[in-house]
């Protein structure tokens, strides 16, 4: 659910007309709804109210510091995958004690920074990494709290680029070899293997893969305890899907009901890493129609947002709904068209073979469900400044990130002296 709705014939973000935002801030433009973000966080949090738990928002889905701060105020922590994300989290005022650090390629600098900041734990993805964290912690005179990320070999039935819990995936350690890893960890002087981590993929729209993975994780916690390993945290990752089109994913409550029966009596603190389910439907990308174009085979509508602003349709063939900002546009005759951007790539589209009302120059469109993996995946490809991000609350809005300008585009670049005209 979300708070983008038609009122008086036009699309509103909470109490603010989207057309007004477009006029005052220009397009393309990311718009987030405060009320939707808060509601999503609270509903998710409440679904786990019966067990000790910590919600570590997967900030890879949306890393604006205003949004991180908002979740932090609601009691959340962060799931991070880089030093840059930890830096952002700290700038946003999130306590490092609520931060878990995942990713297969953590560098020594990243590990040291995280240890110095005192994060809750590392999610360790390989034995090499485990030994390296031990070494870095030893040099700093610290003990590194870790969860070993196990790969339960569960099929999440999602897009192959975002399925992570299969044996062929680069993530995690084969669950069959997990016991050996914990034994190895117990021998390392600077490691406290206090947790178990298990994330199987993203945009998962059924409960059963979660239940299956939770069952395997719970069995492993019992087995580990049986060998004397002191497991205090179980991290079940993120991955709960959302409705982009006609998917009917489990609600957070149904998701909790699917996994809690096997986890409830484990006497662990449950860590959860939701991203998309919190932020996805809380944001839209607003864009303006530039031109129409037709040949015998196809009809194109060219808009001012491209794959550099929102790459999900190009990269994953993702479907995101397109809502005209002016409601009356919906009544126009409909045609199948490609909604394409200005980028010089045939793969640059935001909707393909989509039946849409006839669109005219300057019509405003909202690309829905763009709050997660939207702005964070935007780039400057084709030297396009990235769009601003705005947070709406009731009838007010605040620009939480300015539109980039042309100086931003060349920041840090220089022409060497050996090229004529270069300054050296």
Active site amino acids: 344
Nearer to ligand LLP, 58 or 217 (CB): 58
| Binding track over 166-185 against ligand LLP, x by CB under 6 A | --------------------
Closest by alpha carbon to 98, among 118, 124, 82?
118
Single out the residue of 239, 249, 252, 283 in contact with ligand LLP (rule: CB under 6 A): 239
Q: Is 102 in the site for ligand LLP (CB under 6 A)?
A: yes
Q: Is 375 in the site for ligand LLP (CB under 6 A)?
A: no
Q: Is 85 in the site for ligand LLP (CB under 6 A)?
A: no
Rounded distance between C-alpha atoms, residue 373 and residue 86, angstroms: 18
Name every residue whose Cβ is closer than 8 Å to that of residue 13 and which is 6 or more positions away in sequence: 3, 4, 21, 31, 33, 284, 392, 397
- Please choose, out of 212-220, 231-239, 250-258, 386-394, the segment that lies near ligand LLP by the rule CB under 6 A: 231-239
Name every residue whose Cβ is closer than 8 Å to that of residue 219 and which is 6 or more positions away in sequence: none
Q: Is 40 in the site for ligand LLP (CB under 6 A)?
A: no
Q: Is 162 in the site for ligand LLP (CB under 6 A)?
A: yes
DSSP symbols for 32-78: EEHHHHHHHHHHHHHHTTTS-EEEEEETTS---HHHHHHHHHTT-EE
Q: How many residues bind ligand LLP (CB under 6 A)?
A: 22
Burial class (CB in 10 A: 0-12, 13-18, 19+), 146: buried
Can you tell me which residue has the tokens 């994330």?
Answer: 199
Using left for φ > 0, alpha for ψ between -120 and 50, and beta otherwise, residue 235 falls in beta
DSSP symbols for 363-390: -EEEE-S-TTTTGGG---TTT-PPPPEE
Q: Is 205 in the site for ligand LLP (CB under 6 A)?
A: no
How many CB atoms neighbour CB 69 within 10 A? 16
| Binding track over 330-369 against ligand LLP, x by CB under 6 A | ----------------------------------------
Cβ-contact 16, 396 below 8 angstroms: yes
Rounded distance between C-alpha atoms, residue 16 and residue 34, angstroms: 12
CB of 354 to ligand LLP, least distance (A): 19
Q: Is 274 in the site for ligand LLP (CB under 6 A)?
A: yes
Pairing relation of β-strands 334-340 and 349-357?
Answer: antiparallel
Nearer to ligand LLP, 12 or 57 (CB): 57
For ligand LLP, the binding residues in 64-83 under the rule CB under 6 A are: 79
Q: Is 202 in the site for ligand LLP (CB under 6 A)?
A: yes
Nearer to ligand LLP, 216 or 312 (CB): 312
Single out the residue of 113, 373, 375, 397 in contact with ligand LLP (rule: CB under 6 A): 373
CB of 405 to ligand LLP, least distance (A): 27
Retrieve residue 233's tokens.
Answer: 């945290």
Q: Is 199 in the site for ligand LLP (CB under 6 A)?
A: yes
Retrieve residue 121's tokens.
Answer: 């734990």
CB of 275 to ligand LLP, least distance (A): 3
Nearer to ligand LLP, 212 or 273 (CB): 273
Retrieve residue 112's tokens.
Answer: 């040291």
Nearer to ligand LLP, 160 or 395 (CB): 160
| Binding track over 308-327 against ligand LLP, x by CB under 6 A | ----x---x-----------
Q: Is 237 in the site for ligand LLP (CB under 6 A)?
A: yes
Which residues make up the interface to ligand LLP (CB under 6 A)? 58, 61, 79, 102, 162, 164, 199, 202-203, 237-240, 273-277, 312, 316, 372-373
């Amino acid at each position: 659910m979300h708070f983008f709705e038609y009122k008086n014939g036009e699309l509103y973000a909470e109490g603010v007309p989207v057309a007004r935002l477009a006029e005052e801030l220009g397009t393309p433009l990311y718009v987030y709804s405060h009320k939707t973000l808060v509601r999503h966080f609270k509903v998710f949090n409440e679904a786990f109210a019966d067990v000790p738990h910590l919600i570590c928002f997967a900030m890879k889905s949306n890393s604006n510091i205003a949004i991180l701060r908002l979740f932090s105020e609601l009691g959340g922590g962060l799931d991070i995958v880089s030093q840059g994300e930890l830096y952002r989290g700290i700038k946003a005022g999130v306590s490092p004690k609520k931060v878990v650090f995942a990713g297969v390629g953590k560098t020594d600098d990243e590990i040291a920074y995280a240890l110095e900041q005192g994060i809750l734990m590392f999610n360790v993805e390989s034995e090499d990494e485990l030994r390296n964290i031990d070494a870095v912690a030893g040099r700093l005179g610290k003990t590194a709290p870790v969860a070993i990320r196990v790969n339960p070999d569960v099929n999440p039935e999602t897009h192959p680029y975002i399925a992570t819990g299969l044996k062929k995936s680069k993530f995690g350690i084969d669950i069959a070899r997990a016991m050996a890893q914990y034994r190895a960890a117990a021998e390392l002087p600077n490691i406290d293997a206090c947790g178990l981590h298990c994330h199987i993929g993203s945009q998962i729209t059924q409960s059963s893969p979660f239940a299956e993975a939770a069952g395997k994780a719970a069995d492993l916690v019992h087995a580990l305890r049986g060998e004397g390993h002191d497991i205090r945290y179980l991290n079940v990752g993120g991955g709960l899907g959302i409705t982009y089109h006609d998917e009917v994913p489990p609600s957070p409550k149904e998701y909790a009901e699917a996994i809690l029966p096997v986890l409830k009596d484990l006497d662990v603190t449950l860590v959860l890493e939701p991203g998309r389910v919190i932020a996805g439907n809380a944001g839209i990308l607003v864009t303006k129609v530039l031109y129409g174009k037709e040949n015998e085979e196809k009809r194109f509508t060219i808009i001012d947002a491209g794959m550099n602003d929102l790459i999900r349709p190009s990269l994953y063939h993702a479907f995101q709904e397109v809502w005209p900002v002016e409601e009356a546009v919906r009544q126009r005759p409909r045609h199948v068209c490609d909604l394409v951007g200005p980028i010089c790539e045939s793969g640059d589209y935001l909707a393909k073979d989509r039946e849409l009302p006839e669109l005219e120059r300057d019509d405003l469109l909202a690309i829905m469900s763009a709050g997660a993996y939207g702005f964070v995946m935007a780039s400057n490809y084709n030297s396009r400044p990235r769009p601003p991000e705005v947070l709406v609350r009731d009838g007010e809005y605040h620009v939480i990130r300015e539109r980039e300008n042309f100086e931003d585009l060349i920041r840090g670049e220089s022409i060497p002296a050996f090229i004529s005209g270069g300054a050296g």
